[in-house]
Amino acid sequence: MSARIVSGGEGVEEAVAILRRGEVVALPTETVYGLAGDAFNHLAVARIFEAKGRPLTDPLIVHLPESGWLDRVALFESASQRAQVDQIAAAFWPGPLTLILKKHPDLPDLVTAGMQDVAVRVTAHPLFREVLRQLNFPLAAPSANRFGKISPTSAEDVQNELGSMIPLILEGGPCEHGMESTIVVVKGGNLEILRPGPITREQLTEYGHVAPPSEAVKTPGSLPSHYAPKKELQIIESDIMDWISASGRKNAALLAFRSPTPVVIEQCTALEVLSCSGDLREAAVHFYGALRRLDQSQSDIIFAEALPEVGIGVAIMDRMRRASHGSRHASFSSHE
Ligand code: TXA
Ligand code: MG
């Protein structure tokens, strides 16, 4: 069985009908594709966890059509917190930012994995927004990949990940950012970045003191081994040519930031260039797709060139390190 991929108004209509029945569908967002279900329907939420193979301890993000719906899923600790959230929402929503707030008691505990806090965001994707507009409930939606795997940035990626588990994928084209939303805790006037993403630390400083995440608030899904390709992935922090020669690997794929030299290209079985001009935003858009293709190539290892950790480069390197950790872990466990 595979999911039907449907686009446009027809796709929206079908997605709405399926979601109203308490089933799940994959929807496009501006970051990555999400697997959506009615956030107030226990069965729909359980289906999301089941389709992804995700542990019930890992909470989901709740997607709203507009910030005016915040009171249906979250509580505010004070008037000043409310004012700060309103300012942030006005600046970044709709867009690739998720806020962690106190959970409303009416929201099923399953959505937040029993946690007292809820993650909320308002996506900018017109198709997702149209689906939400036609429903009268918010949608819980994690990234539409099997748990711990590479996030999908196209309808085909979702088909490869979850096609056998879900009835419908709403086709919305390639994702604009290609990297999951920035997750921020708004607490005591401070902003704590739990997951770096398209909205950068620099952009957030205008709206509160950006403090390092406290020990108490963790993103349960942020395991060191996430976004894992099947092949081993090693990050190159020095000269690419030196690294490939020193590794002694004859069958290596290269995930390059910029176009490499012809000598380097000759050494690689497979190559993906994230941005010929060295543009970090373009690199983010291409990152997961390139990683997927190299994972499917004939090579037996992926070397990934480290990127500058500025702006969205922080998010890309965060994902690259997790992909590297995960693949090392996978290659160890296959020897057990
Ligand atoms: O861009 C995105 O955020 C995409 C699109 C589909 O919206 N969604 C996404 O969801 O990346 P997911 O589930 O793949 O990642 C959400 C992360 C997980 O690591 C989860 O543990 C964390 O957010 N999270 C969710 N609720 C939380 C909460 N209440 N407190 C702390 N972390 C939370
Ligand atoms: Mg995810």
Give the tokens for residue 117.
Answer: 């806090």
**Same domain flag for 34 and 102:** yes
**Same domain flag for 148 and 263:** no
**Same domain flag for 26 and 84:** yes
pLDDT digits (tens, 9 = 90+) for 253-303: 999 999 999 999 999 999 999 999 999 999 999 999 999 999 999 999 999
For residue 321, count other CB atoms closer than 10 A to its CB: 18
Strand 34-38 versus strand 25-27 pairing type: antiparallel
**Same domain flag for 139 and 263:** no
For residue 281, count other CB atoms closer than 10 A to its CB: 16
Q: How far is the CA of 77 from the centre of ligand 2 (A)?
A: 28
Nearest CA residue ID for atom 22, ligand 1: 219
**Same domain flag for 161 and 267:** no
Ligand nearest to the CA of 219: 1
CATH number at residue 158: 3.90.870.10
Backbone conformation region of residue 288, classed left if phi is above 0, alpha if psi is from -120 to 50, else beta = alpha
From 211, 246, 281, the end of a domain falls on 211
Q: How far is the CA of 125 from the centre of ligand 2 (A)?
A: 18
pLDDT digits (tens, 9 = 90+) for 95-147: 999 999 999 999 999 999 999 999 999 999 999 999 999 998 999 999 999 99
Question: 86 lies in which domain range?
Answer: 4-211
**Same domain flag for 179 and 249:** no
**Same domain flag for 237 and 173:** no
**Same domain flag for 254 and 311:** yes
**Same domain flag for 177 and 258:** no
Nearest CA residue ID for atom 13, ligand 1: 142
**Same domain flag for 252 and 199:** no
Prediction pTM value:
0.93
The total number of residues written for the chain in this structure:
336
pLDDT digits (tens, 9 = 90+) for 165-195: 999 999 999 999 999 999 999 998 899 999 9
Residue 216 lies in a domain: no
Closest ligand 1 atom, residue 145 Cα: 14
Residue 217 lies in a domain: no
Q: How far is the CA of 179 from the centre of ligand 2 (A)?
A: 10
CATH number at residue 269: 3.40.50.11030
Give the tokens for residue 123.
Answer: 């996506």
**Same domain flag for 206 and 243:** no
Residue 218 lies in a domain: no
Residue 27 lies in a domain: yes
